[in-house]
Structure 1
Amino acid sequence: MAVVVDLDVMLARRKMPVGVLAERVGITAANLSVLKNGRTRAVRFSTLAALCEVLDCQPGDLLRWEPDVADSAGSADAGGSELAS
């Protein structure tokens, strides 16, 4: 499974540069870039809330889940056997 970060889409809609968003949210531009490019493993709720406040959006506007193509065929079998044990 993959969580996709659509921060770049929201930045484009708001016509806001990454540096401005980073300053308003209170994180470094480097950390925001890591999040924007999907290379992060975690996001604090306080950071997510600050992003939503500054961008005037909901968390679902920034994050979405997409199943991995390779995992979708095998995950149903694996899930079923875990429930049975």
Structure 2
Amino acid sequence: MAIRIHIDVILAKRKMSVTELSNKVGITMANLSVLKNGKAKAIRLSTLDAICKALDCQPGDILEHIDEEEIIG
């Protein structure tokens, strides 16, 4: 899949810890870690909405589509 996750960048800009985001969003640290590390296969829109509210951002700030050739090359 050619989607990059930028939660760590937004967390750093907001000076927020993963633990704090986990508590605000209501998902486990393990699930947030899977998402943050780009290992998730899917994300619920309700979870994305909660993350965007907690981080005061747009989905495009978190998710980036990249060309698969960039991954290979």
TM-score (norm 2): 0.92
Query: Structure 1 stretches of 5 or more lacking a match?
Result: 72-85
Other-structure match for 1:16: 16
Which structure's relative contact order is higher, taking Cα pairs within 8 Å and 6+ residues apart?
2
Distance 1:13 1:25 in 2: 18
Runs of 4+ with >2 A deviation: none
Query: Structure 2 stretches of 5 or more lacking a match?
Result: none
Q: How many residues matched?
A: 72
TM-score (norm 1): 0.80
Name the SS of the counterpart of 1:4 in structure 2: strand
Other-structure match for 2:62: 62
Other-structure match for 2:44: 44
70 and 26 in structure 1: CA distance in 2 versus 1, 3 angstrom threshold: closer
69 and 46 in structure 1: CA distance in 2 versus 1, 3 angstrom threshold: same
Q: Which has the larger radius of gyration?
A: 1
Other-structure match for 1:34: 34
Name the SS of the counterpart of 1:64 in structure 2: strand
Where is the helix percentage greater, Structure 1 or Structure 2? Answer: 1
Could you say what the CA RMSD is over the residues aligned between the two structures, in angstroms?
1.7
